[in-house]
Chains A and B, each alone.
Chain A
Amino acid sequence: MRRAWTRFARNRGALAAFLILVAMTLACLVGPLLTGHEPGRIYPDLVRTAPGLAAHPEPDEIAPALTRLAFRMRLSVSDIAVTGDTVRMVFSGVSKPNDTGPIDERVLVYLPRSDLFGPASIVERRDGGRRLVVEAPLRRLRFLMGTDMLGRDILTRSLVAGRVSLLIGAVATAVALFIGIAYGALAGYLGGAADAVMMRVVDMLYALPFVFFVIMLLVFFRSGLGLILVAIGAVEWLDMARLVRAQTLSLRHRDFVRAAEALGLSTAAILRRHIVPNTLGPVTVAATLLVPKVILLESFLSFLGLGVQEPATSWGALIAEGARALESAPWMLAGPAAFLVSTLVALNVLGDGLGDALDPRIAER
């Protein structure tokens, strides 16, 4: 085991993949708190913002935004001047020519409500309050990966989506592992007719068009997280069962298993204490390679609109949105796709690295 670990540590690619995965998991768990945006927060004035380091509103976005706001306030705006982090402007009444009274100053709450500006303060009242000189601080919003069609931060949403995707990857793999190990170990240990029947069943299930069954399940019975987990886990246990059975067959007649039998241990205890722990090496490798398959399957279902439903989201769902907005906002596809692909590549590299480390034949070369 120690030698396997040394071999693994020497495989720089696999080690890097492992670190990337740890970083990805941490980022998804903690990251959404650090980006400064709520995942569901909509910035109506910052729809389809291109990714970049610049703080929003940028200088050329201020005047149009103020004009839009003034329209809603039924005022007109002029003399917009930006100095540092504050903007100064003059509001004057236009829409009601007969109304000669002063501007209702309560309309200034529109400014802080608009994402772009802080609370406004009146610097000077002219013409008996019919013209207001107003100063407001500028908000400084950053969207490293841009915003989507509704003005939501894509980085935050990708990280939150990552929680769902990684969770499904882990839990569905665990479901598949559990069923596969139990089934495979039992079949291999019992041997004979029971083994033959159990493996024929697996062969039969292999031939089923499972993806079609999953689609049917999700279309017919309102899709939810639980159903997705069960459906994917139930599909993917077959490989695991075959692998564990093959391992068990080679262990069954070893001395330590016979000794356990001679001691009168129950079948369940022998499987749990002696068989399963000895199959864990190859199973770990297979499980590591199963996680990306599961994540991919979930993304595929979400892409078709059958997976995770709004307001929850996953990488597949975000990629589906991005693919629809391809021409106008390509970064909507690029962000989540980068997260998904880097995770999948890292998992595949890690799985291969583990396989090499645990395979003595390769290690000796």
Chain B
Amino acid sequence: MIGLILRRIAQAVPTLFLVVTGSFFLIRLAPGGPFDLERPLPPAAMRNLAAVYGLDQPLLVQYGRYLGALMRGDLGPSFSFRDLTVADLFARGLPVSMTLGGLALVLALACGIGLGGWAAHRRGGWIDRAIGLLAGLTLALPNFVVAPLLQIVFGLTLRWLPVGGWEGGAPSHLMLPVLTLALPQVGAIARLTRASLNEALNAQPVRTMRAMGLPPHRIARHALRGALLPVVSVLGPTAAALLTGSVVVETIFGLPGIGRAFVDGALNRDYTLVMGTVVLVAVFVTLLNIVADIVCALLDPRLRTAR
């Protein structure tokens, strides 16, 4: 078990290194710089700015310095938000994205596993088919279509909920964005749960239990435990994507999260902000994948020694 965790962490290090290196040089290759304005600054001022941020050094020196700072957990100053560091910006944006993503994840899990389990329970019936159709639809509906639709229905027509804004995370402002984020994941999780539960309910152990006359709810508990493995294994990337914020949802609902910061940063050539976001997302994805692997290993002893 500990060996598995260590192996996963050892695998994560080169991945993160690749992310940092790749994004660092990709940004520097891009035309334009962080201080290019409509009216160019005088050359002396440009030189001063470049010196302050260390941009006058050779690229490799800059890269080394960035890596060094990153080791110490320093993401550097933001180029487009003067007087703020990237860490400051994350301290502002991350709670927003995390709140939305966390709630969406809980909602998606509850609804997805519930619906998937129900469909498997009523296999072949009209409920099964209806849930299948619903899941297919939520998967095919892009969030940038769902979000405006929700805004029209609940915001403009019914006037139940505000169409956007954050307002310190007031519950009424959270509803629509969380629903938009959760919807496609509900479909995905429901399908996965249904498929693997169907498989598990047909497998030998369950048949044996049935033959032994165990009550249905005990059989369901055993079947669900094995059937949740695939769900858990896709949960890593799903959770990472949800927690680090959806660019579209944050844009449409006007929320000050990480995704929005990333796109603005890329447009403004805010080198450190873009780098910081990519590193943050990569760390999240890696960590959550490791957690998902560990949970899988806890559920299924065979995975503890494999590989």
Contacts and interface: CB of A to CB of B under 8 A. Distances in A.
B62 to A, nearest CB: 17
Given A212-B262, A215-B266, A300 B26 contact: no
Given A207-B285, A209-B19, A333-B145, A216 B140 contact: no
B94 to A, nearest CB: 15
Contacts of A217: 26
Given A219-B30, A292-B140, A322-B148, 6 more contacts: A208-B285, A219-B267, A299-B142, A316-B142, A316-B144, A349-B136
Nearest to B278: A212
Interface in B117-133: none
B22 A345 contact: no
B208 interface: no
30 contacts: A203-B11, A204-B14, A206-B237, A207-B12, A207-B289, A208-B15, A208-B18, A212-B23, A212-B262, A212-B277, A213-B22, A213-B23, A213-B26, A215-B263, A216-B23, A220-B266, A221-B31, A300-B248, A303-B144, A304-B248, A304-B263, A316-B142, A323-B147, A323-B148, A326-B151, A326-B152, A330-B152, A340-B145, A341-B142, A348-B139
B144 A319 contact: yes
Interface string B261-290: 011001100000010011001100110010
What's the dominant secondary structure at chain B's contact region? Answer: helix
Interface string A295-326: 01001100110000000000010011011001
What are the 10 tightest A-B residue pairs by CB atom distance, in nearest-first order? A220-B30, A344-B140, A209-B281, A219-B266, A323-B148, A345-B140, A204-B15, A303-B144, A337-B145, A207-B15
B156 interface: yes
A212 B284 CA distance: 13
A209 to B, nearest CB: 4
Nearest to A320: B144
B247 interface: yes
Interface in A172-210: 200, 203-204, 206-209
Nearest to B285: A207
A358 to B, nearest CB: 16
B111 interface: no
A82 B251 CA distance: 48
Interface in B241-255: 244, 247-248, 251-252
A327 interface: yes
B306 interface: no
Contact of A345 (B14, B136, B145, B247): B136
Contacts of A219: 30, 263, 266-267
A300 B151 CA distance: 18
A52 to B, nearest CB: 20
Interface of B: 11-12, 14-15, 18-19, 22-23, 26-27, 29-32, 136-137, 139-142, 144-145, 147-149, 151-152, 156, 237, 244, 247-248, 251-252, 262-263, 266-267, 274, 277-278, 281-282, 285-286, 289
A209 B247 contact: no
Contact of B142 (A207, A213, A326, A340): A340
A105 B298 CA distance: 89
B111 to A, nearest CB: 19
B14 A209 contact: no
A156 B277 CA distance: 40
A296 B266 CA distance: 22
A204 B266 contact: no
B137 A345 contact: yes
A168 to B, nearest CB: 15
Contacts of A316: 142, 144
Contacts of B282: 207-209
Contacts of B289: 207
B235 to A, nearest CB: 14
Contacts of B263: 215, 219, 304
Contacts of B18: 204, 208
- The winner among A203, A204, A212, A213 for most chain B CB atoms within 10 A is A212
Contacts of A213: 22-23, 26, 278
A106 B114 CA distance: 73
B29 to A, nearest CB: 7
Nearest to A217: B26
B145 A319 contact: yes
Nearest to B202: A365
B29 A220 contact: yes
Interface string A50-69: 00000000000000000000
B99 to A, nearest CB: 20
Contacts of B244: 209
Contacts of B137: 341, 345
Nearest to A221: B30
Contacts of B30: 216, 219-221
Nearest to A212: B278
Contacts of A323: 144, 147-148, 252
A341 B152 contact: no
A275 B40 CA distance: 59
Contacts of B281: 209, 212
B278 A209 contact: yes
A209 B285 contact: yes
B213 to A, nearest CB: 25
Contact of A220 (B19, B26, B148, B151): B26
B267 to A, nearest CB: 6
A361 to B, nearest CB: 10
A144 B109 CA distance: 41
Contacts of A326: 148, 151-152, 156
Contact of B141 (A303, A304, A341): A341
A40 to B, nearest CB: 24
Which of A204, A207, A333 has the most CB atoms of chain B within a 10 A radius of its CB?
A207
A326 B147 CA distance: 11
Nearest to B139: A348
A89 B289 CA distance: 74
